Structure 1
Amino acid sequence: MTFRGPVLSEEASGGEAGPPQSPSTRPQSLMFSFLGVYVLGRDVAVYSGSVIEVFARLGVTEEAVRSTLTRMAKRGLLARHRSGRRTYFGLTPHAAGVLEDGRRRVWETGAVNRDWDGAWTLVGFSLPDSRRNTRHDLRSQLIWAGFGLLQSGMWIAPGVKDVGAIVAELGLRDHVTVLTARAAGPTESADLVRKAFDTGQIAARYHAFLDRWDVPGPQATLPDDLARQLLLHTDWLQLVRQDPHLPAGHLPPDWPAIRAEQVFHTLARAYERPARDLADGLLEVVTLPRKIASGA
């Protein structure tokens, strides 16, 4: 199965919006946050025992951590390295790409699209029932890329999107049509936003985030800033990966993503130094030769 987003293949649901997400304590979701903060961009592998110690702060059992690491290794997301009798886990190039995409969404893309130029990307396809799994994978990848279902077989996303890699990887070059276009009367861009995207559901997710993090909640119940940092980053990435980044001009002026982003950045800055100090004392890492770290 194609796997581009951190938890996409396990949590995407064919384009239908689900209820607002509760705090994500899925070990794999937390693992991606941990790897993105403490392993991405470093030529290191981390000892599994020290990962277990970190995750115990979040109430994740040793069995769950080991199972998550093993599953991710089997899927080509982590590489095992031995040093003596200990096993260390490092990123594969595929995992580094996934995490880098998440990093950009968290720190660069932003929660509000203020620079939209009026262009839309349209993707049309028709696949037989015999390719149902491939169809599901394509829909999941389109959702991850910010597309919404406009009508049967037609998906749209604001801005110019490069979906060539998705189409090629799924072997659908002859089954998919990709266009860029602008709305023309009588169709308005506001109509496209309303028809293809459930803005009420998107807003509800941001309100749920604010209910958790804009009040004394997880901050008070978790044992330290390392645990708070990992849960905060996990919750925020869950939000931004589900947000199609709709044009600000077609959203309410009190769009909750604005406040939610401010809360995330404020808390992330507050947790960063003490969390890193704790992590430095807990994590045992080995430095990898650059050739191994880069997958060469």
Structure 2
Amino acid sequence: MTPQSLMLNFLGLYVLGRDTAVYSGSVIDVFGRVDVSEEAVRSTLTRMAARGLLTKHRNGRKVYFGLTPHATDVLQDGERRIWQTGALNTDWDGTWTLIGFSLPESRRSDRHDLRSQLMWAGFGPVQNGLWIAPGTRDVTGMVEELDLAQHVTVFTAQHAKPTEAADLAHRAFDTEAIAARYQDFLARWGGKTPLKELPDDLARQLVLHSDWLELVRQDPHLPAELLDADWPAIEAEQLFQSLATRYTETASPLAAAAIESIDVSGK
């Protein structure tokens, strides 16, 4: 779990949806509770501001950080994945979105970026240069942002004999690894008092959301009918929602005491 991953979750919990900017010292205080150093926090804030994710505001000698529209989009996407998409895909219509691409060696970095974006969007590789995802996926923005329209072919289709849907899912996605990550989450958070080594529920809330978002980011949201009946994502999602609800109550007063912010609605 990187400082930036933690930072995005912190911003999603305590800045998203508010016209505020948070004092850097407050962020340092909160991150110290999860053993992230002051240097790492300052470096992360600086890099995110340079990348157009954060705005910087001064109030006297203090520096505050707020969200840019781009950061808001990123955080809202994460919020949708956590609360709306769900751990199971129960409404699959049998179609797949396929993306074929071939890029010259001179565009190796673009090929890497495309693969990273495809993984984030829930695609998996069937074979060299051909990736698939269940259902209909709109990848127009991704392709245009990377300027790869001339190198990419996108279409939707259904599998046909002798290819089976379950075989496609297991070929394109490492379902055993996905299941193992959910099992790890259950083992990490399933105790009566998870992560006792952390000082308080504000720290636990931050790590919980970071852990869960990392899980769902790596989950291609495969159709339930292609997975085992005891797919561990079901139990893991129930556990996350229960803990998230608990920490919303117990962490809120801690956050109110620890986080200093200013109103930036007029800026």
Is TM (by shorter chain) over 0.5?
yes
Identity of aligned residues (%): 65
Cα offset for 1:216? 4.6
**Per-residue CA shift, 1:191-240, capped at 9, x if unaligned?**
21011111001011111111100125643221111000000000000000
2:247 alignment counterpart: 271
- Aligned 8 A contact 2:9 2:210 in 1: yes
Return the offset for 1:159. 0.9
Contact 2:188–2:195 under 8 Å retained in 1? no
Does 1:82 pair with 2:58? yes
Instruction: Quote the residue 2:152 is aligned against.
Output: 176
My pick for the range that moved more, 185-194 or 130-139, is 185-194
Whole-Å Cα distance in 1 between the matches of residues 24 and 223 of structure 2? 43
One-letter code aligned to 1:238? E
Question: Which deviates the most, 214-223 or 174-183?
Answer: 214-223
Number of aligned pairs? 267
Among candidates 233, 236, 242, match of residue 260 of structure 1: 236
Cα separation, 2, equivalents of 1:230 and 1:218: 13
1:202 aligns with 2:178: yes
Alpha-carbon distance in structure 2 between the residues aligned to 1:183 and 1:191: 10
Structure 2 residue aligned with 1:5: none
- Provide the residue aligned with 2:187 in structure 1: 211
Measure, in 1, the Cα distance between the counterparts of 2:19 and 2:167.
48
Q: Deviations over 1:115-136 (max 9, x none)?
A: 1111110000000111000000
Q: Which residue of 2 aligns with 1:21?
A: none
2:16 counterpart SS class: coil
SS at match of 1:220: coil
Aligned partner (choices 235, 245, 270) of residue 211 of structure 2: 235
TM-score of the aligned structures, taking structure 1 as reference length: 0.88
Query: Where do 5+ consecutive residues of structure 1 fail to align?
Result: 1-23
* Correspondence for 1:166 among 127, 137, 142: 142
Q: Which residue of 1 aligns with 2:94?
A: 118
Is 1:53 the counterpart of 2:29? The answer is yes
Q: Distance in 1 between matches of 2:127 and 2:213?
A: 28
TM-score, normalised via structure 2 length:
0.98
Partner of 2:48: 72
Aligned to 1:11: none
Q: Deviation of residue 186 (structure 1)?
A: 1.8
What is residue 166 of structure 2 aligned with on the other side?
A: 190
The 5-angstrom pairing of residues 278-293 of structure 1 reads 278-289=254-265, 292=267
Aligned amino acid, residue 203 of structure 2 = A
RMSD (CA atoms): 1.0
Q: Following TM superposition, by how much is the alpha carbon of 1:113 offset from its aligned partner in structure 2, in angstroms? A: 0.6
